[in-house]
Structure 1
């Protein structure tokens, strides 16, 4: 029987070159959650940095994780953490950028397709096709004109978006906490009406 631990994974790319890009919003949200816990990441043997803690005093056990590798290899370290912490994939929450949502919108869902997102594809592949994990989809909008999606998500946010980014990151972190404390349906009822 799997443990009652939640694994929260924020997707992104390593290094300062990518730190403030659209593709790294998952890392930004995890950094916000780690700050709220007044904790620091530790490195693991599976290629991820983690914080293992409780959400609030006596609250649920959570493992916050960011991969040390690139987006398209996210699945291997996440699978390693799922195995190590004995996490049911239904208690895996993945925070990622979503071009099919306007900037500032957040949508929560369980399962479904990967929608061309290479990080999600890698996770599903390493979970042997299991798509039953929860996604926190953070809207970054579609690229303008004929710009390639890959080029767009690897760019920094526009000045207007950068001004609103701290609030978006906080709201996405709130959504993660709601999923853990209220369940997915309760979190959806709150987040989708905002």
Structure 2
């Protein structure tokens, strides 16, 4: 972030998308926590998070910062994201059952 701040001559008033990873457990040093590899569950969750980030960027470019903030801070997006994932998953299963009859 220091390089970004330097590039913008110390101005921190630019929009940015931050992806949080939570807090380290107990009194664990934050550096190893941040630098460790993702668990299997975290990798799966990151896939959804990345899709949300891409959607947020689309909204930012097309509709501006306020609409983007509403999307990012909305809990409804998670429900929609899960529904879309399930639809894709069941479509995949359907196509597989056609291609490879059981």
Q: Secondary structure at the match of 2:22?
A: coil
Q: Secondary structure at the match of 1:161?
A: helix
Partner residue of 1:144 out of 25, 45, 58: 25
C-alpha deviation, 1:167, in angstroms = 1.1
- Write the distance in 2 (CA, Å) between the matches of 1:150 and 1:141: 13
Structure 1: which 5+ runs fail to align?
Answer: 1-119
Q: Secondary structure at the match of 1:128?
A: coil
The match for 1:154 is: 35
Matched, 1:124 2:10: no
C-alpha deviation, 1:192, in angstroms = 0.8
Deviations 1:39-82 (A, max 9, x none): xxxxxxxxxxxxxxxxxxxxxxxxxxxxxxxxxxxxxxxxxxxx
TM-score, structure 2 normalization: 0.65
Q: Secondary structure at the match of 2:18?
A: strand
Q: How does 1:7-156 map to 2 (within 5 A)?
A: 120-156=1-37
Structure showing greater Rg: 2
The match for 1:189 is: 70
Whichever structure has more helix as a proportion of its residues is 2
Q: Secondary structure at the match of 1:137?
A: coil
4+ residue segments displaced more than 6 Å: none
Larger relative contact order (CA 8 Å, sep ≥ 6): 1
Matched, 1:168 2:49: yes
Number of aligned residue pairs: give it: 75
Deviations 1:99-157 (A, max 9, x none): xxxxxxxxxxxxxxxxxxxxx12311232211121110112111112222221111111
TM-score, structure 1 normalization: 0.36
Q: Secondary structure at the match of 2:62?
A: helix
Whichever structure has more strand as a proportion of its residues is 1
- Write the distance in 1 (CA, Å) between the matches of 2:70 and 2:33: 31
